[in-house]
Amino acid sequence: MSTERDFLAITDFSTDELHGLFALADRMRTGEYRARPLEGKAFAMLFMKASTRTRVSFEVGAWQLGAHPLFLTPRDVQLGRGEAMSDTARVLDRMVDGIMIRTFAHADVEEFARYSSVPVINGLTDLQHPCQILADLLTIRQHLGTFEGKTVAWIGDGNNMANSWCDAAFRLGFSLRLACPMGYEPDATILARAQATGRVTLVRDPHDAVAGADVVTTDVWASMGQEEEQAQRATAFAAFHVNAALMQRAASDAIFLHCLPAHRGEEVSAEVIDGAQSRVWDEAANRLHVQKAVMAVLMGGEPLG
């Protein structure tokens, strides 16, 4: 059973710990941090969904910290033939020093963490994408100096990204305005907890969300596993398109973020994602730095702060 610390959601870290993580990740980005706290360790990466950024950033990051990363998919491991999550967890637990999982049901990651005594990191579920939000926050810190006192506008689906943004606003106290169509709101419990801060609002018109915002961000209309809903979602999200006219309503120095992969011409226009306000490439690069910080802390005993 689980004895180690896991990272399944942003709220698994305290406010102070999150600040410590960003400071550590910054030292990794600048090259000041050169330690290899995972020397001789093994890190399993279990992908039940596709990935470019998460796979490469975790694999390269684990290697840079001294660990041996293992890339596992349902095509290779017995999970794909129905072996139980709990059995897989107890086997990996005895052979590796940390596990990252990307899967569908959040409950599967929680079950995995319960049955594993090594740290488990959430590489995306249908409910949460906490590693991406850490990278987004690091990018805001990099380009705007701080996220405190800033306003983030989320445009589109109340999906895993939106839920993790709500958790980040709950922990870090910045303002978050979510513009979501009816029926596509974030998880009710996660949203209510964030709204209790008084700084998180849900609106229906993207123009209301972006007015004066410091950060404008969005995501695909249909997430992995929702491919068959694409046509219905295209109708529901038609007005939730980030283009230059919408960006004009944000602060003049506002930045645009997108976790990627992006669909130009759907949730974002090419002029915005490829334009001067876009920081999406730094955002992707920050996945590496911030996840190295998470691995160094959870698996390598690196202190926070």
Contact footprint for ligand CP (CB under 6 A): 51-54, 124, 132, 259-260
Rounded Cα–Cα distance for residues 41 and 56 (Å) = 18
Q: Which residue is nearest to ligand NVA (CB)?
A: 223
Binding mask 180-219 for ligand NVA (x = CB under 6 A): ---------------------------------------x
* Residue 220 binds ligand NVA (CB under 6 A): yes
Binding mask 81-100 for ligand NVA (x = CB under 6 A): --------------------
Cα dist from 252 to 19, 71, 213, 216, 277, whole Å: 27, 42, 9, 12, 9
Q: Which of the following is catalytic: 6, 136, 214, 219? A: 219
- Distance of closest approach, residue 194 Cβ to ligand NVA, in angstroms: 18
Q: Which of the following is catalytic: 126, 259, 279, 289? A: 259
- Peptide bond before residue 303 is cis, with ω within 30 degrees of 0: no
Binds ligand NVA (CB under 6 A): choice among 103, 195, 223, 286: 223
Stretch that binds ligand NVA, among 108-116, 137-145, 154-162, 287-295 (CB under 6 A): 154-162
Q: Is 219 a catalytic residue?
A: yes
Q: Which is nearer to ligand NVA, 96 or 134 (CB)?
A: 134
Q: Is 248 a catalytic residue?
A: no
Q: Which is nearer to ligand CP, 53 or 171 (CB)?
A: 53
| CB burial string 135-149: b at 16+ within 10 A, e below | bbbbbbbbbbeebee
| Torsion angle in degrees (nearest 10) through CA of 279, 283, 284, 285 | 100
Residue 88 site contact among ligand NVA, ligand CP, none (CB < 5 to 8 Å, cut-off depends on kind): none
Sheet holding 68-72, edge to edge: 68-72, 42-47, 98-102, 120-122
Rounded Cα–Cα distance for residues 25 and 80 (Å) = 34
Q: Is 199 a catalytic residue?
A: no
Rounded Cα–Cα distance for residues 301 and 135 (Å) = 21
* Residue 259 binds ligand NVA (CB under 6 A): yes
Question: What letter represents residue 58's amino acid?
Answer: F
- Distance of closest approach, residue 168 Cβ to ligand NVA, in angstroms: 15
- Distance of closest approach, residue 125 Cβ to ligand NVA, in angstroms: 8
Q: Which is nearer to ligand CP, 54 or 277 (CB)?
A: 54
Binds ligand NVA (CB under 6 A): choice among 57, 88, 142, 160: 160
Q: Is 287 a catalytic residue?
A: yes
Active-site positions read 102, 129, 132, 219, 259, 287
